Amino acid sequence: MNASRHPIEPADMADGPPHRPLTVCYPFAGDVMGGSHVSLRGLLDGLDRDKVRIIIVPEVPDGRLAEHYTSFEQIPDPSPPDRPFEAGVPFGVSEIFRTLPSVMKRARFLKEHGVDIVHTNDGRSHASWALPAKIAGAKLLWHHRGNPTARGLRFVAPLLADRIVTVSSFALPRTKRGSARSARVVHSPFDVSITVDRVEARKRILSELDLAEDTVICGYFGTFIDRKKPLEFIETVELLAELEDRPVVGLLFGEAVEPELGRAVEERVKASEGTAILMGYRTPGHEWLGGCDLLLVPAIEEPLGRTLVEAMLVGTPVVATHSGGNPEALRGDCGIFVPPGDCLAMARTAHELLADDLRRSDITERARVSAKDRFSRERHVAAIEAIYHELVQ
């Protein structure tokens, strides 16, 4: 390894702050906030700044992501694309070719700043920064938070990544070529100390929306992308309203990433005549999640949804599809599962759960204990720091 990169020595990691901190670059494509950005913030807040120099490289210098990481050193992307890549649009050959004019500029950028490791966190950032990292001689940590069938994970990561990390066992690469052979699971970090006054949180929602006291509040939390199935959430809430003898409302917390789907969600919300309500992006999300009676998760092949874990921590019972990383997050009877794509089954299951106080209490208590044990920020930070250490040896 190039001596100018100042790797952390084993003694540095064990005995105190190194004289020359490891430099890790975190580039971001686009400017749409998602769960990956919240998870990464949990990592960065936990890293020892004496051991790791953090460089944030936003594609949009004054955007939402730059603001989200405002407490960290930021350097603008040296070669942002004229036409940003759209979130949710699969990367094809043409998109890969679009990154080529920026490769050498980004590689020089990494060398000039003495970057030891490039830690990418989404598909567009993987595609934009993998080759520059290799040309610059930096190590590439490919943090995969998507479907295991993603083309980048299957074909590019095994060749260019020095290490692949996934958020769940479901998301692990199916191939055993190259670095995919050593891919490992590191669950996303959470502040497991969070608490919510559920009574007050519920009152806030009822007051803001002028809802009746006995209204059943169902929550959807996340961006509006196809795999999260926001339209199916609305359909489920409408079916649940037919089963209940009290008002039911479905609140969609999030925003559109895929424009066409976003328009379809808006139209469906209008047609629901108040059964579904767009709440926009709100933070901190767990304070709103704690005011919901149920979290309904119709997502299919979701690697590991943050809101499932946050619901576990704040005592909101979860009804989710048996798909993707949902069973991994809710293992140990910490939620109730229904078949993917079956909105009626989800509505009936939610109806039965709402009528069974004892079962809800048992589920939420198990879920809280399990989440605190498995998803702590400290565990995540320790795992990633160990990987950083391995990469520079």
Q: What is the pLDDT along the chain (393 residues), one digit of tens a residue?
A: 333 344 334 444 445 544 679 999 999 988 888 888 999 999 999 999 999 999 999 999 999 999 999 999 999 999 998 765 555 555 554 555 556 788 999 999 999 999 999 999 998 899 899 999 999 999 999 999 999 999 899 999 999 999 999 999 999 999 889 999 999 999 999 999 999 999 999 999 999 999 999 999 999 999 999 999 999 999 999 999 999 999 999 999 999 988 999 999 999 999 999 999 999 999 899 999 999 999 999 999 999 989 999 999 999 999 999 999 999 999 999 999 999 999 999 999 999 999 999 999 999 999 999 999 999 999 999 999 999 999 998
Angle made by CA atoms 159, 161, 166, in degrees to the nearest 5: 120
Side-chain-facing half-sphere of 86: CA atoms under 13 Å: 10
Q: Tell me the whole-structure pTM to 2 decimals.
A: 0.84
The verdict on 215 and 319 lying in the same domain is yes
The verdict on 241 and 301 lying in the same domain is yes
Nearest CA-CA partner of 107 in 127, 79, 136: 136
The verdict on 138 and 237 lying in the same domain is no
Strands, sheet with 117-120, edge to edge from the N-terminal-most edge strand: 52-58, 22-28, 117-120, 139-144, 163-166, 184-185
The verdict on 321 and 357 lying in the same domain is yes
Residue owning tokens 């007050």: 200
The verdict on 241 and 184 lying in the same domain is no
The verdict on 158 and 211 lying in the same domain is no
What is the count of structural domains for the chain? 2
The verdict on 83 and 169 lying in the same domain is yes
330 exposure class (CB count in 10 Å sphere: 0-12, 13-18, 19+): buried
| Cα first-last separation, the chain | 8
- What is the b/e burial string over 254-285, where b = at least 16 CB atoms within 10 angstroms of the residue's CB? bbbbbeebbebbeebbeebeebbbbbeeeeeb
The verdict on 229 and 306 lying in the same domain is yes
Q: Distance between CA 88 and CA 255 in Å, rounded?
A: 13
The verdict on 148 and 205 lying in the same domain is no
The verdict on 262 and 128 lying in the same domain is no
Q: Distance between CA 114 and CA 25 in Å, rounded?
A: 10
The verdict on 38 and 179 lying in the same domain is yes
Parent domain of 82? 3-189+376-391
Give the Cβ contact number of residue 17 at 10 Å: 12
- Token pair belonging to 24: 């890790």
Task: Determine the longest span between alpha carbons in the chain, in angstroms.
Answer: 70
The verdict on 148 and 253 lying in the same domain is no
Q: What is the CATH number of the domain that holds 32?
A: 3.40.50.2000
Q: Distance between CA 228 and CA 225 in Å, rounded?
A: 6
